[in-house]
Copies of this chain bind each other. A is one copy, B any other.
Amino acid sequence: MQKDTLLIYSGGLDSTTLLWEYAARIALAVNFSYGSNHNEREAECARWQCRKAGIELIEIPLGFMSRYFKSALLDGPDAIPDGEYDGDNMASTVVPFRNGIMLSIAAGLAESRGLSHVMMANHSGDHEVYPDCRPEFVDAISAAISAGTYAGITLLAPYTDLTKAEIALRGLRLGVDYDHTYSCYRGTPEPCGRCATCRERAAALAAARKAIGLH
């Protein structure tokens, strides 16, 4: 298989599963840091996984986001609410247009490297609370990237119709080591277990383990 794809790679559960499932076609993984509570722990996991997979990793700091952007995710662990992703609970953790920014930079970098695709780990459980996860956004930015690059770079999002539990199930079957992934929005050394990302991750892994008879 041709190495023709750039992966936007956070070091979390979803994108780590993508990294391993598509390792044969991923030429380059890119990790963005923007001053969030959990960026450094995610980046450590991204380095560990890429080293193990033999895939080049570029880390791009986006200092302007921590300096000028407004989001609870950039304001320290105490600004993160407890509880589920329901209602407006997590709206404060939106980082304005984050996916648009990461996808645009990835598109320029892919074009510079002569690659044909940018891959991202959006999935069916992505939340309406984040406008830049919605299908209308993904369709439009995909068209923009294709029209705005010489190579007509296309966006690949193979997990669009999967739930997080289904992604975890694929990963467990592939032997992905989820101990070296990180998700907690508080960014504490031990994941807090109370924020929406921790709860969702735990539920997905529990469901996936149950499905293949693990405990």
Contacts and interface: CB of A to CB of B under 8 A. Distances in A.
A107 B111 contact: no
A68 B58 contact: yes
Interface in A196-215: none
Contacts of A104: 97, 100-101, 103-104
Interface in A67-111: 68-71, 94-101, 103-105, 107-109, 111
B69 A112 contact: yes
A42 interface: no
A107 B100 CA distance: 9
Dominant SS among interface residues on chain A? helix
A132 B149 CA distance: 7
A97 B149 contact: yes
A143 B143 CA distance: 10
Give the number of times this chain occurs in the complex, counting copies: 2
B60 A64 contact: yes
A145 B131 CA distance: 10
A144 interface: yes
Interface residues of A, number: 40
Contacts of A70: 112-113
Interface in A24-55: none
Contact of A140 (B58, B108, B109, B140): B140
A101 B108 contact: yes
Contacts of A144: 100, 137, 140-141, 143-144
18 contacts: A64-B105, A64-B109, A68-B109, A69-B109, A71-B112, A96-B149, A97-B108, A97-B145, A98-B108, A100-B145, A104-B104, A136-B147, A137-B147, A140-B141, A140-B144, A141-B141, A141-B144, A143-B144
Ordered nearest first, which 6 A-B pairs have the shortest CB separation? A97-B108, A96-B111, A140-B144, A132-B148, A140-B143, A137-B148
Given A96-B111, A96-B149, 6 more contacts: A100-B107, A136-B143, A137-B147, A140-B140, A140-B143, A141-B141
